[in-house]
Structure 1
Amino acid sequence: MNKRTWVYDPHSGGVKIPEAVRERTRDRILAHAHKHYAGKYTRIDVRFRGQLCYIDAYKEPFVAPDFDPSPLGVSREEYIERQRNFPIHLVRLRYFGKEDRWSMAFYTYSHEKYEPSFFDNGTFEGTPEEAFDTGAVYLDD
């Protein structure tokens, strides 16, 4: 007999994030980034959609002095401005109804998608600040 069994999956489902939680979470992430990673980014973008929270960073781009962007059809200044406005995806959080109970998916540039991930505490659940610390690997030079 084939019985269906419910299995907890920290990377599916979740609860729509209430506006008050969105505001507090955004404030927590920005305060944590400012305190621990100041100078490694020009701005942090925290976006919400349904039960998900996306964290992106922007950095001042390094462009070699001899780099010629003319084959791309843009001037050097246009190329630099485009790079300044290109987001660096860090992590995606999934909300489960408690402000310190989120799951995390780390953005992998090798696959160009968010991949389910453990927190540094060894579990599938953690805080937004812990998730930011994981994604901050992309802020290193």
Structure 2
Amino acid sequence: MSNKVWAYDPQSGGQKIPPAIQPRIRQRILDHADKHYAGRFNRIDVRFRGQFCYIDAYTEPYVAPDFDPSHLGESREHYIARLRATPTHLCRLRYFGREDSWSMAFYTYSQNKYEPCFFPDGGWEGTPEAAFDTASVYLEP
């Protein structure tokens, strides 16, 4: 007799995100970002791969007026353009078959990887909008 017990783990598994819902989810995230975080980013990138939805932001970099990037081998203009083209990873959502119930992993720059995290209400699952709100800590006011 087997002693195996199935346990739900919101940070593993998941289902491939159907192509039919991807545009709707992307638009929900973009609309929420525009409504609540306008001016804090140049653009938001939402992409899908398998059971994951990745959300990145592109922001206007701060470069001190007296900073000279010539020691990096590039002009000030190229340096700023490179920073503008570098995404800020916000979070990764995991799909389990319900459009309003996703798990989330927050991108930690200290570890350079996605780490499981709770939603603000203390639960393991939430909406894409709530995930964006959680990850918006990387978007300067």
Q: Above 0.5 in TM-score?
A: yes
Matches within 5 A, 1:1-141: 3-141=3-141
SS of match in other structure, 1:106: strand
Output the amino acid matched with 1:41.
F
Output the amino acid matched with 1:110.
S
- Can you list the C-alpha shifts for 1:24-56, whole angstroms capped at 9, x where unaligned? 100000000000000000000001000000000
Identity %: 69
- Can you list the C-alpha shifts for 1:59-93, whole angstroms capped at 9, x where unaligned? 11110011111111111000000000000000000
Q: CA deviation at 1:138?
A: 0.3
SS of match in other structure, 2:74: coil
Which stretches in structure 1 are left out of the alignment for 5+ residues? none
Distance 1:111 1:121 in 2: 25
SS of match in other structure, 1:98: coil
Q: CA deviation at 1:140?
A: 1.6
Distance 1:84 1:102 in 2: 29
Distance 1:61 1:23 in 2: 29
SS of match in other structure, 2:20: helix
Which stretches in structure 2 are left out of the alignment for 5+ residues? none
TM-score, length-scaled by structure 2? 0.97
TM-score, length-scaled by structure 1? 0.97
Segments of 4+ moved more than 6 angstroms: none
Distance 2:56 2:38 in 1: 15
Q: CA deviation at 1:7?
A: 1.2
